[in-house]
């Protein structure tokens, strides 16, 4: 016969523990871990803003190098910036051809790129690479101009919008840590 003491802690609930959702595991938890690792709320907000802008830049294949350079120059967390950039790769791929089309129109290559498809691009790369380089350099420059104009307000909105959110998260986290640490008896 066993006797349970009145001071014993309640047993944890039996059964499987709830697994956090995909968004929390892939995006929120890594960002919160980076916040705990020394990034201030302002730095984390800037990292998210720049990561979002650089992640959709029409510089396919150069995103990692550019993001690393920006993170090192601004003394931001390279891993956090890379995470955000690479999470936005599908969006970058969706925006690449429209930005090239509009960039071509902006700099005078609109007729050649009006109905340009991905399969035509692949064909040109394989069979006439010099023609495609001549055609795309102006479109790429125009796409970069469009992206740069659009990126400034996006970074500003994300920075000023997320900074108070991250400050609240830090305060909430500090409050829960303060409650969790035992008070030293005197």
* 11 inside domain: no
**DSSP H or E stretch at residue 61:** none
- What average pLDDT score do residues 155-177 get? 88
* 90 inside domain: yes
* 7 inside domain: no
Nearest to 162 by CA among 25, 38, 51, 33: 51
* 9 inside domain: no
Q: What residue has token string 């692949």? A: 122
Residue 56 domain boundaries: 39-168
3-state secondary structure of 73: helix
* 47 inside domain: yes
Domain count, the chain: 1
Which of 23-37, 61-75, 131-145 is predicted with the least confidence, judged by mean pLDDT?
23-37
> From CA 67, how far away is CA 90, in angstroms rounded?
17
* 144 inside domain: yes
Q: What is the pLDDT of residues 87-104, one digit of tens each?
A: 999 999 999 888 988 888
Cβ burial of 48 (10 Å; 0-12, 13-18, 19+) is buried
Q: Which two tokens stand for residue 55?
A: 């992640």
Q: Which two tokens stand for residue 33?
A: 């871990």
* 94 inside domain: yes
Q: What is the pLDDT of residues 48-59, one digit of tens each?
A: 999 999 999 998
CA atoms within 13 A on the CB side of 89: 11
* 65 inside domain: yes
């Amino acid at each position: 016969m066993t006797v349970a003491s009145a001071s014993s802690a309640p047993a944890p609930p039996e059964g499987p523990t709830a697994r956090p959702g995909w968004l929390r595991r892939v995006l929120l938890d890594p960002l919160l871990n980076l916040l705990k690792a020394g990034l201030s709320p302002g730095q984390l907000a800037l990292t998210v803003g720049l990561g979002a802008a650089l992640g959709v830049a029409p510089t396919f294949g150069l995103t990692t190098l550019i993001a690393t350079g920006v993170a090192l120059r601004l003394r931001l967390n390279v891993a956090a910036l890379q995470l955000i950039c690479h999470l936005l790769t599908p969006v970058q791929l969706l925006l690449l051809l429209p930005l090239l089309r509009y960039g071509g129109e902006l700099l005078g290559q609109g007729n050649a790129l009006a109905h340009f498809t991905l399969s035509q691009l692949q064909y040109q790369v394989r069979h006439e690479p010099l023609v495609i380089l001549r055609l795309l350099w102006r479109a790429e420059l125009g796409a970069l101009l469009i992206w740069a104009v659009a990126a400034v307000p996006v970074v500003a909105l994300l920075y000023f919008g997320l900074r108070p959110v991250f400050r609240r998260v830090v305060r909430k986290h500090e409050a829960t840590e303060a409650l969790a640490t035992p008070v030293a008896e005197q």
